[in-house]
Structure 1
Amino acid sequence: MNDTRTVLVTITGKDRPGVTSTLFDALGEFNVEVIDVEQIVIRGQLVLCILVTAGRDEGELRAAVHRAAARVGMHAEIRSGVGDNAPRAAGRSHVTLIGAPLRSGAMGAITGRITACGANIDRIFRLSKYPVTSIELHVSGAPTEKLRAELAAEAKLQGVDVAVQRSGLWRRAKRLIVMDVDSTLIQDEVIELLAERAGCLGEVAKVTEAAMRGELDFEQSLRERVALLAGLDASVIEDVRRAVRLAPGARTLIRTLKRLDYRCGIVSGGFTQVTDHLVAELGIDYSAANTLEIVDGRLTGRLVGPIIDRPGKAAALRRFAAEAGVPLSQTVAVGDGANDLDMLNAAGLGVAFNAKPVVREVADAVVNVPYLDTILFLLGLTRDEIEAADAEDDAEDSD
């Protein structure tokens, strides 16, 4: 095909039914081979590109295309050349850009960095327009790791989020997501809800914050905080369960991934007395958390069993992946604190969700908006696809 004469037809104008079929009917009269087609509509304006072989009578083909375009009120531009599209360069990546809002200056700065890396943007399209604007760019010509480092620095300057992932089949194959719970799957820190009822919130919150920044050993800090809960009536756990607030988009995230046959797990430095309820409510497949010791209806201030700390979270991810039959390269991990770092590093895609600086600096992707379902855009799903699936389920439920 490299030495075959080709014709690129570009059709622009107000979109309306029948444009594409009219153009292909005209081309069909010449029995030319279709090599490539791409179409996009923005605010009712259509851009349709068709690459075909030139055929025996290129002049008549051009005239037929112009006549067909005029019949549907469109403008046609036709260019002749030789061969197919130039092949994409090596080093292919998906770049997901997220803003709330996404301003033109940020878009210009990010695309400028891509150019500075020696890379080319091959395709751009929108994944969502609310509650955040997310844009995906297909980029070639630069190593993914280099691109990730450069764009992470620029995203920080511009106040937007960016995720850079290697292109290929592996991106479509992820089949296990494991999430931290406190301040990730839920908006709260469960131990602080308990501490509030025990009258020691200030002391516990201070230690929690330091532990999440990585300044304290997690296991030691957890035992110290739990000790402050000694004597608390176990009945308050039910109050805490009712007080827990899911992160916005949490149900949408899990519901959508379940439709795609994902397995979903949670791993928490919090407590099974609360996470077991989340497992039942959300249909979680795998769970690991710490357990508060309760004797005679009161918290003893101690924990039962092994501690789920930073290494424990990574071990849980590996255990869940083995049980699900999913390679670690096909897993997603989401967290916000220093005790999530090993888990994020072990996963195929580690996502820092509204995370501490120490986590944002090393994660594969950073999300700083409060909507957990934004993670779906990192996986290449669009808001339209998500809502269409929800609408279809609603229609089936109403039958």
Structure 2
Amino acid sequence: MTHDDSAARVAILDVDGTMHPRTIGLALLREVSQRGLGRGDAIAEVMTAVGQLRAGSIDFPEMVARSTAAYGAALAGVEQAQLVALAQAIWQELRHELFGYVRPLIARLGDAGVTPYIVSSSPQEIVALLAADLGVADCHGSLFTVEAGRYTGACEFMPGAPGGKLTLLQKFAAARGAGLSRSIALGNGPGDLEVLAVVGRPLVFEAGPPLLTLAHDRGWPRVDRLNVLDYVDRALAS
């Protein structure tokens, strides 16, 4: 049996815009701003970069590079314990906004013996809360460097950067002896393209261009919050 013929399967699941209608990392950053923590100019730069992407004036890699650097700068000097406490507080609100399909999805993956892996560009401090809420043991968010209990302003790892999610998926699958040809990827944006391209069961969730166009050209199923569980059931059965 080759590695990719393995019966073991994984499912890599995006968060922002896929499992949750909002970008939970931006919601956390807004809370940081409202509490008077962090650097206001850097917080504004994060929002500017995201807005320019949505307006089409910059591309996705540039947005990731700029927003990652600015997010790190925004947190510089903040105590990690403070950010964790803010994440816990805001998650109590955000958890009620999860798309209705999410909890049934996790249950179906578990029943089928497929290991879910939640990966997001939002910070690990809040992604871990989402995963724990869903009973998912494995997750990975962006990691910002901490020394002596405070953020330094640097970013150790950003899943949304080129090759980020792909590297995580390959390591995760290899550690579990799982093949990718029958594994699942669920995502909605350019940062998910690399993992959608390597699994045998890609599902493109409510995407806009350019991912929507690529999905059409490559014959990838395009799903939405109403029919995604039907497509997941088909993926699990095949």
User: Normalised by the shorter chain, which TM-score bucket?
Assistant: 0.7 to 0.9
How many residues of Structure 1 are paired with residues of Structure 2 in the alignment? 209
Q: What residue in structure 1 maps to residue 157 of structure 2?
A: 306
Q: What residue in structure 2 maps to residue 207 of structure 1?
A: 49
Q: What residue in structure 1 maps to residue 37 of structure 2?
A: none
Q: Which moved more, 1:224-233 or 1:188-197?
A: 224-233
1:222 aligns with 2:68: yes
Quick one: structure 1 residues 370 and 269, their matched pair in 2 at CA, closer, same or farther if it must change by over 3 Å? farther
Quick one: structure 1 residues 274 and 177, their matched pair in 2 at CA, closer, same or farther if it must change by over 3 Å? same
The alignment-based identity, stated in percent, is 24
| Unaligned runs of at least 5 residues, structure 1 | 1-169, 382-399
Shift in Å at residue 324 of structure 1?
A: 2.3
Q: Residues of 2 paired with 1:195 and 1:306: CA distance? A: 18
Shift in Å at residue 359 of structure 1?
A: 1.2
Q: What residue in structure 2 maps to residue 282 of structure 1?
A: 134
2:89 to 221, 225, 239: 239
Any conservation in 1 of the 2:25–2:126 contact (CA below 8 Å)?
A: no
- Greater Rg over alpha carbons, structure: 1
Q: Residues of 2 paired with 1:265 and 1:210: CA distance? A: 30
Q: Residues of 2 paired with 1:310 and 1:340: CA distance? A: 10
Q: Residues of 1 paired with 2:162 and 2:229: CA distance? A: 24
Shift in Å at residue 331 of structure 1?
A: 1.1
Shift in Å at residue 221 of structure 1?
A: 2.7
- 1:1-399, aligned counterparts within 5 Å? 175-197=9-31, 198-199=33-34, 203-210=45-52, 214-217=59-62, 218-230=64-76, 233-234=82-83, 235-244=85-94, 245-294=97-146, 299-303=151-155, 305-308=156-159, 309-363=161-215, 364-369=220-225, 372-379=228-235
Any conservation in 2 of the 1:247–1:370 contact (CA below 8 Å)?
A: no
Any conservation in 1 of the 2:46–2:67 contact (CA below 8 Å)?
A: no
Q: Residues of 1 paired with 2:65 and 2:173: CA distance? A: 24
Secondary structure of the structure 1 residue equivalent to 2:17: helix
Secondary structure of the structure 2 residue equivalent to 1:341: helix
Q: Residues of 1 paired with 2:226 and 2:71: CA distance? A: 27
Structure with the higher strand share, 1 or 2 = 1
Any conservation in 2 of the 1:292–1:302 contact (CA below 8 Å)?
A: yes
Shift in Å at residue 229 of structure 1?
A: 4.1
Quick one: structure 1 residues 338 and 273, their matched pair in 2 at CA, closer, same or farther if it must change by over 3 Å? same
Shift in Å at residue 208 of structure 1?
A: 2.6
Shift in Å at residue 251 of structure 1?
A: 0.4
Q: Match for 1:227: what amino acid?
A: A
Structure with the higher helix share, 1 or 2 = 2
TM (normalized to structure 1)?
A: 0.46
Q: Match for 1:306: what amino acid?
A: F
TM (normalized to structure 2)?
A: 0.73
Secondary structure of the structure 2 residue equivalent to 1:237: helix
Q: Deviations over 1:43-96 (max 9, x none)?
A: xxxxxxxxxxxxxxxxxxxxxxxxxxxxxxxxxxxxxxxxxxxxxxxxxxxxxx
Shift in Å at residue 314 of structure 1?
A: 0.8
